[in-house]
Amino acid sequence: MAVRGAWPTAALSFGGDYNPEQWPEQVWAEDMTLMAEAGVNLVTVGVFAWCRYEPSDGQFEFGWLDRLLDLLHENGIRVDLGTPTAAVPMWLHRRHPEILPQDEFGHPLAPGGRLGWCPSSPVFRRYALRVVEKLAAHVARHPAVAMWHVSNELGGGNARCHCAVSGDAFRRWVQQRYTSVEAVNEAWGMAFWGNSYSSFAEIVTPGGRTAHNPGHLLDFERFSSDALFDHYRAEKRLLKELTPDLPVTTNFMVGLGPDVVDYARWAPEMDIVANDHYTYGPDPLRHQALAFSGDRMRGISDGGPWMLMEHAAGAASWHSINLAKPPGELLRHGLAHLGRGSNSVMYFQWRASKSGTEQFHSAMLPHAGRDTRIFRAITQLGRHLTRLAEIKDTRVAGVQVALLHDNEAGWALRSGLKPVRELGYADTARAIHRALFDRTVTVDVLPAWADLTGYALVVVPGLFLVSDANANRIARYAEVGGTVLVTWNSGIVDEHNTVRTGGYPGAFRQLIGASSEEFFPLETGRQVGLDNGWRARRWSELVRAHDAEVVASYAGSGLDGVPAVTRRPLAGGGAAWYLSTDLDEGSLDELLGRLLDDTGVTPVTTASPGVEAVRRTAGQRSYLFLINHTDAEGSAAGRGVDLLTAERHDGTVVLPPGTVAVLREE
């Protein structure tokens, strides 16, 4: 089970960040009325309230918080209490300017904003733990407090610090990992350009204007993630001492990846794995990006339930043009997160701020107030969540396809010079996820070290870095009957970011029975054909199939007749496929169609294009989420009662443009 401790609300959780410190207390009463109207049952408070609790060094005041917690409790609203360490009080900046994180050129961040602290600073840690301890001791028995929210989006601003303290901490980290300086030289390949170290003291954080070795860059990312994780664990330890029964979490930013810190490796330390997800308005496939993040969230939370901690009710405010959400999207996105395994729909934030950096970020309650389309949509969603109460103990289950994802692979890919600069780590993962999403095939996006038992198909998309242990686990899965699709740019380097020699994709060469000796990246806009009619772009390789069938070869490019897609049948009944190029959408869909047929993977249901379908179950009970993301009428096969409308459907569900249905299936 993914959740340790009690879920904070009896029903599905609904609410958001609540920042009443920005408003006079008279406004709070109106907040309570409107929260009741909307059906809010959980709010995150105090995330940025350090200066409220500790207005000057060592002077603590919790009267404000007490009044707020009492009020929320009287109104039946549970509290996800933030530890306030994301926002350093100005007096602390003044007293200890050295806590500010420094960028790669050694420039400190300015005071103000948030996360203005070096993750390795013992000075900051001391002050942070002091306020956390006072706060936790103060609220320990308050009945409104249901869980802890440590800091905010750790790493969102202070992820890579190059100050002197971080430099020392990095050297200690490296020494601990490698023990000898010779081992560091070997791991990072410091012989290149004669950069070898003769002592640990020579090692610096990889900042400034020079070309650092990829192994060095990768380890700095690991170190930086570990430094922030250490901070999380220090706060968590304290919270567990003082309030052992309250679940502790922090809000992740799981999207396509690579992430700012290594969430999959952090997740086991979360009592509830929580995520903030913001879509990008101009992306026409933003709903599929949302699904990808939800599928990743399940993948790092043992199948969930996970918690959607934040998303936007309308426009964001950090894009260059912040598009409003079109009609119905608020509901579609909320339900899509639920469909993918969240047991909450939470927002940033309850009431739109009138000042501050994010004064134009949307909120559940807009500047214009209650009589607005956003607030009406919020109250409608609140009512829907009540109707959906019975799904709370269900899970997205029976998923037959796994897709592997590892931040370290993404970090490795972006370090140093690569054959093609602008490859996004998750490009191939997203393209394959999309093809499966369009076929209503649910995918678990799993860490590269996950147990693959039971999956019919495992996709290894551009897993640039892979350790021997993970590569072996994948190979074993295939040898005992599994089917694996390995794509280009996988298995290229080991955990030190060192190329695996002898032919690409080094770690999977043997498994796929093929290898390539040279990359042939394609110019932007250029397409090449394959001899079965498929089209490809961006990438090709000089592949040799030594123990595999050739499914398709390059045709009409400099690589005519060279295998492009291969398949190695395996004794256990499975197969290992290799895709050496970036197929266009239609061709990729055909390839996946063949793989699904071969492996017997079935879709969730049949649905018209643009209709998302996903299922949650518990025992004999089963719920089908259908979301029409298009402007046209859609339909899907389904039988049962729509919990949202109480309407029965006996085979076909018609979904008017942009609408949703959740069937209790028979």
**Shortest approach of ligand GAL to residue 361 CB, angstroms?**
5
Residue number of the CB closest to ligand GAL reads 348
250 binds ligand GAL (CB under 6 A): no
CB 339 within 8 A of CB 627: yes
Instruction: Give the nearer residue to ligand GAL in terms of CB position, either 42 or 592.
Output: 42
DSSP string, 6-34: --SSSS-EEEEEE-GGGS-HHHHHHHHHH
Among 153, 226, 271, 612, interactor with ligand GAL by CB under 6 A: 153
276 binds ligand GAL (CB under 6 A): yes
Instruction: Give the nearer residue to ligand GAL in terms of CB position, either 119 or 314.
Output: 314
From 54, 221, 235, 310, active-site residue: 310
Tell me the C-alpha distance between 27 and 19, whole Å: 11
Instruction: Give the nearer residue to ligand GAL in terms of CB position, either 87 or 450.
Output: 87
CB 38 within 8 A of CB 378: yes
Q: What separation, in Å, do the N-terminal and C-terminal C-alpha atoms of the chain show?
A: 26
**Shortest approach of ligand GAL to residue 342 CB, angstroms?**
16
CA 440 to chain centre: 21
CB 483 within 8 A of CB 598: yes
152 binds ligand GAL (CB under 6 A): yes
Which parts of 62-153 fold into alpha helices (H)?
63-74, 90-95, 122-139
Range 416-455, binding ligand GAL (CB under 6 A): none
Instruction: For residue 126, report the phi and psi dihedrals to the nearest 5 degrees.
Output: -65, -50
Range 285-314, binding ligand GAL (CB under 6 A): 310
Instruction: Give the nearer residue to ligand GAL in terms of CB position, either 358 or 531.
Output: 358
**Shortest approach of ligand GAL to residue 312 CB, angstroms?**
7
Q: Count the residues of the shown chain that bind ligand GAL, applying the rule CB under 6 A.
A: 7
**Shortest approach of ligand GAL to residue 260 CB, angstroms?**
11
Instruction: Give the nearer residue to ligand GAL in terms of CB position, either 72 or 253.
Output: 253
Assigned token pair, 215: 């192994």
Instruction: Give the nearer residue to ligand GAL in terms of CB position, either 170 or 348.
Output: 348
**Shortest approach of ligand GAL to residue 388 CB, angstroms?**
25
**Shortest approach of ligand GAL to residue 26 CB, angstroms?**
24
CB atoms within 10 A of CB 658: 20
User: How would you classify the pairing of strands 78-82 and 145-149?
Assistant: parallel
Tell me the C-alpha distance between 500 and 265, whole Å: 24
Tell me the C-alpha distance between 274 and 259, whole Å: 14
Instruction: Give the nearer residue to ligand GAL in terms of CB position, either 148 or 348.
Output: 348
Tell me the C-alpha distance between 428 and 460, whole Å: 9
**Shortest approach of ligand GAL to residue 331 CB, angstroms?**
20
Instruction: Give the nearer residue to ligand GAL in terms of CB position, either 112 or 419.
Output: 112
* Run of H or E including 231: helix 214-242
Tell me the C-alpha distance between 346 and 15, whole Å: 5
CB 552 within 8 A of CB 564: yes
CB atoms within 10 A of CB 189: 18
Range 350-369, binding ligand GAL (CB under 6 A): 358, 361
Rounded to 5°, the CA angle 96-157-173 comes to 75
Assigned token pair, 457: 């198909």
Tell me the C-alpha distance between 78 and 415, whole Å: 44
Closest CA to 513 of 432, 470, 575: 575
**Shortest approach of ligand GAL to residue 362 CB, angstroms?**
9
Instruction: Give the nearer residue to ligand GAL in terms of CB position, either 87 or 187.
Output: 87
CB 41 within 8 A of CB 9: yes
The sheet with strand 443-447 has its strands ordered as 443-447, 401-405, 457-460, 483-487, 575-579, 563-569, 549-555, 527-530, 535-537, 582-583
What is the total residue count of the chain? 666
Tell me the C-alpha distance between 268 and 273, whole Å: 8
224 binds ligand GAL (CB under 6 A): no
Instruction: For residue 44, report the phi and psi dihedrals to the nearest 5 degrees.
Output: -95, 120
**Shortest approach of ligand GAL to residue 317 CB, angstroms?**
6
From 153, 235, 329, 495, active-site residue: 153
Instruction: Give the nearer residue to ligand GAL in terms of CB position, either 353 or 372.
Output: 353
Annotation says 153 is catalytic:
yes
CB 28 within 8 A of CB 68: yes
In eight-state DSSP terms, residue 530 is E
E strands, 353-455, in order:
401-405, 443-447
| Residue with the two structure tokens 């709070």 | 28
**Shortest approach of ligand GAL to residue 80 CB, angstroms?**
13
Instruction: Give the nearer residue to ligand GAL in terms of CB position, either 157 or 416.
Output: 157
CB 378 within 8 A of CB 350: no
**Shortest approach of ligand GAL to residue 82 CB, angstroms?**
10
Residues that bind ligand GAL (CB under 6 A): 152-153, 276, 310, 348, 358, 361
The set of catalytic residues is 153, 310
